[in-house]
């Protein structure tokens, strides 16, 4: 069987959504929810590994990657809205049950969908995908202050997150020198440099306050439905620290926790190990 990654576009939630997929279409589904400032290309090395046994689908959110950048006056760039678009995307892709890989922004998006459709979720793989206040690193204190008292000056200052020093630091932080290739962060910088992208991403930085407010709801979902969960994190991540991975066991005593000697973008250096751990975990859960 070929594990070649295919791509396509489909209209969902008022936007043209680009997606990648691999594996047999009759196999159990894994949906990969990407983070910031990246898109589905972050899964390029992982998808062929998972496609050995699963139908793997990785969409780009509106305003990210190759999905449509709908103008802000016609589209609300909020996490609630992105989750709604992804929910519609999965419906239009005829995905009824799936395991989900949640990373960074993908965590609040995927968890909103899980709370809405708990019967559809077969398992959760969280790779530095945080849903606990314990997992918020030091940088979130400044952002919390901005959200409590937003000003145009602060909004402008946080646009530094979309520029080269901050983006490359996210990739290289916590990794051995020379271990991270430039391809993905260079592509990130291309997408982040598009006209209007800075305002889209600024809307989402401000709206992140809603994700923290949703943490108790996400945790209640975990306690109530007890989905199988693998938290496999780069332990050197300064954005979402290891305490966030360990916190899952408060609500899911059987959660499997694996900490890797990696940073935020752990797939850059540990894609084979992460892929194999996921396959082992899902096989043990008979998924």
- 3-state SS, 5-18, equals CEEEEEEECCEEEE
CB 230 within 8 A of CB 284: no
CB 87 within 8 A of CB 113: yes
Query: For the residues 178-182, what does the mean pLDDT come to?
Result: 96
Task: Report the alpha-carbon distance of residue 170 to residue 254 in Å, rounded.
Answer: 30
What's the pLDDT tens digit per position in 191-206?
999 999 999 999 999 9
The total domain count for the chain is 1
| Position 209 confidence tier, pLDDT thresholds 50, 70, 90 | very high
Is residue 18 one of the residues assigned to a domain?
yes
What's the pLDDT tens digit per position in 6-33?
999 999 999 999 999 999 999 999 999 9
Q: Is the pLDDT of residue 1 over 50?
A: no
Q: What is the CATH number of the domain that holds 174?
A: 3.40.50.1820
CB 100 within 8 A of CB 117: no
Is residue 1 one of the residues assigned to a domain?
no
What's the pLDDT tens digit per position in 88-139?
999 999 999 999 999 999 999 999 999 999 999 999 999 999 999 999 998 8
Is residue 233 one of the residues assigned to a domain?
yes
| Position 147 confidence tier, pLDDT thresholds 50, 70, 90 | confident
Dmax (CA) for the chain in angstroms is 55
* Catalytic entry in 55, 81, 184, 264: 264
Q: How much is the mean pLDDT over the chain?
A: 96
Is residue 142 one of the residues assigned to a domain?
yes
Query: For the residues 244-269, what does the mean pLDDT come to?
Result: 98
Does 264 qualify as catalytic in the annotation?
yes
195 — phi, psi (to 5°)? -60, 130
Nearest to 46 by CA among 259, 283, 273, 258: 273
CB 281 within 8 A of CB 230: yes
Instruction: State the residue range of the domain holding 28.
Output: 6-284
What's the pLDDT tens digit per position in 33-91?
999 999 999 999 999 999 999 999 999 999 999 999 999 999 999 999 999 999 999 99
The secondary structure of the chain as a DSSP string is ---PPEEEEEEETTEEEEEEEES-TTSPEEEEE--SS--GGGGTTHHHHHTTTSEEEEEPPTTSTTS----TTTS--SHHHHHHHHHHHHHHTT--SEEEEE-TTHHHHHHHHHHH-GGGEEEEEESS---SGGGB-THHHHHHHHHHS--HHHHHHGGGGGSHHHHHHHHHTTS-TT-S-SHHHHHHHHHHTSTTHHHHHHHHHHHHHHHHHHHHHHHHHHHHH---EEEEEETT-SSB-HHHHHTHHHH-TT-EEEEES--SSTHHHHHHHHHHHHHHHHHHTT-
| Position 148 confidence tier, pLDDT thresholds 50, 70, 90 | confident
Is residue 70 one of the residues assigned to a domain?
yes
| Position 2 confidence tier, pLDDT thresholds 50, 70, 90 | low
pLDDT of 143 reads 86
pLDDT of 237 reads 97
């Amino acid at each position: 069987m070929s594990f070649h990654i295919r791509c396509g576009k489909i209209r969902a939630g008022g936007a043209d959504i680009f997606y990648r997929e691999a594996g047999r279409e009759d196999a159990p589904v894994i949906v990969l929810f990407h983070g910031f400032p990246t898109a589905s290309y972050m899964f390029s090395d992982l998808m062929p590994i998972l496609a050995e046994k699963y139908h793997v689908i990785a969409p780009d959110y509106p305003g990210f990657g190759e999905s449509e950048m709908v103008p802000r006056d016609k589209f609300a760039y909020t996490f609630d809205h992105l989750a709604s678009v992804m929910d519609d995307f999965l419906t239009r892709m005829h995905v009824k049950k799936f395991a989900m890989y949640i990373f960074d922004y993908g965590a609040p998006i995927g968890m909103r969908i899980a709370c809405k459709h708990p019967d559809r979720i077969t398992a959760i793989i969280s790779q530095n995908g945080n849903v606990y206040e314990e997992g918020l690193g030091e940088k979130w204190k400044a952002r919390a202050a901005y959200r409590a008292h937003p000003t145009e000056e602060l909004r402008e200052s946080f646009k530094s997150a979309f520029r080269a020093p901050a983006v490359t630091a996210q990739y290289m932080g916590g990794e051995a020198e020379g271990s991270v290739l430039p391809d993905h962060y260079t592509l990130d910088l291309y997408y982040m440099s598009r006209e209007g992208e800075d305002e889209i991403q600024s809307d989402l930085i401000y709206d992140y306050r809603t994700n923290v407010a949703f943490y108790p709801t996400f945790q209640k979902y975990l306690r109530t439905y007890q989905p199988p969960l693998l938290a496999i994190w780069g332990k050197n991540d300064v954005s979402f620290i290891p305490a966030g991975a360990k916190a899952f066991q408060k609500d899911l005593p059987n959660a499997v926790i694996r900490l890797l000697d990696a940073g935020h973008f752990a797939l850059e250096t540990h894609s084979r190990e992460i892929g194999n751990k996921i396959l082992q975990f899902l096989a043990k859960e008979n998924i």
